[in-house]
Amino acid sequence: MSKRNSQEAKRAARERLLAERQKQKKKDKIRRQLVVGGSVVAILAIAAGIGVAVANMDGGSEGDATDWSAVRAEVDENADSVAAPSNATGEDGLTVLIGDPEAANTVTLYEDPRCPSCAAFEQGVGESIHEGIENGDYNVEYVFGTFLDERLGGTGSRNAVSALGAALDVSPEAFQGLHEQLYAVDNHPSESTDDFGSDERLIELAQNVPELEGNADFETAVNNSMFAGWALQMSDKFDGTEDVSGTPTIKVNGQVVEAPRSAADWEAILATTLVEDQPQDGAEEGAQEGDGEAPEEGAEEEPGTE
């Protein structure tokens, strides 16, 4: 090979090497751009996810049309203007009393709609409690908390209480029916889900209640968050009860009792806590036999209230 040809070959080799290096630099540059771009996209995606989470936190869970932050602001500013269900009682409209208001005994139940222990309690004892109401042994006041929304995330507790308010607005029977549906074995969600955050799901469960099946007024109240403010006030009432630290909490005539696990447990509790309803005419006869005053012994005990 001539010296000239050797020099040309070396020059060509250097040019090829330079071209390869330049090509590699371009590849490296593109790779770095892709990595940076991908990181930016990932960051933006995370930010978007956080935005959605915050939006849902301020508003409702998926399927919950309620803007709970706005409702809270309205309740705090204009508490007296909050709409209460037609069949709620009390000066503040926050007393949910089922049964004969004149019953000699009052059972008070403190529950959270998402509470699994409340579901177990209702599944084991709920039927017996309803029988006692029908027999006139006692009336039942319901007080609902929503603390599991804060603990677990979501809005299912608040949304369910709002729907219970819509049912109570229809009738006490409608309230009882929906309450039973919420805690039924096949319907109550696990703690890891927020089924009650969906308006559609609550309306679906309500179709199993005769008073609510196809009830347009109820569905409108749920979809329009008519009793969302009332639900938050109910939750505030629960939070303000000093001797209630969890759910379910049961009181009989104002005294906290151990939560029963079965109908037999419930009957045993009632045997030691209920007072007897003294006939009014018997009390009058006793007063006539004495000096004009009713005897203290055997007098009717005033039921405990919240």
Answer for the pair 161, 144: CB distance below 8 angstroms, yes or no: yes
Q: What is the DSSP letter of 255?
A: E
Tens of pLDDT, residue by residue over 49-81, are 333 333 344 455 677 889 999 999 999 999 999
Give the pLDDT mean for 9-29: 58
pLDDT average, residue stretch 129-148: 98
Of the chain, the percentage scoring pLDDT greater than 70 comes to 70
- pLDDT number for residue 57: 41
Out of 59-63, 154-158, 286-290, 296-300, which region has the weakest mean confidence (pLDDT)? 296-300
Looking at per-residue pLDDT, the higher value among 241 and 276 belongs to 241
Q: If pLDDT is split at 50, 70 and 90, which confidence band does 140 have?
A: very high
Nearest to 299 by CA among 277, 270, 272: 277
- The Cα 291–Cα 302 span in angstroms is 23
Segment 201-217 mean pLDDT: 99
19 pLDDT higher than 80:
no
Residue 250, helix vs strand vs coil: strand
pTM attached to this predicted model: 0.73
Q: Which residues of 206-222 are buried (b: 16+ CB within 10 A; e: fewer)?
A: beebebbeebeebbebb
- Cβ atoms of 165 and 231 within 8 Å: the answer is yes
Query: Percent helix, strand, coil in the chain (nearest 5)?
Result: 55, 10, 35
Mean per-residue pLDDT, 141-153: 97
Q: How far apart are CA 172 and CA 211, in angstroms?
A: 10
Confidence of residue 144 (pLDDT cuts 50, 70, 90): very high
* pLDDT, mean over the chain: 82
* Residue 271 confidence class, pLDDT cut points 50, 70, 90: very high
Closest listed residue to residue 250, CA positions, set 304, 171, 184, 191: 304
Per-residue pLDDT, 250? 99
Q: What pairs with residue 97 in β-bridges?
A: 141
In the chain, the N- to C-terminal Cα span, in Å, equals 110
Give yes or no for residue 93 having a pLDDT over 90. yes
Segment 11-20 long-range contacts (CB within 8 Å, at least 24 positions apart)? none
Cis peptide before 303 (omega within 30 of 0): no
Predicted pLDDT at 167: 99
Distance CA 70, CA 97 (A): 29
Q: Is the dihedral of CA 84, 142, 87, 204 positive or negative?
A: positive
Residue 204: C-alpha distances to residues 96, 165, 173, 227 (Å) = 23, 16, 17, 18
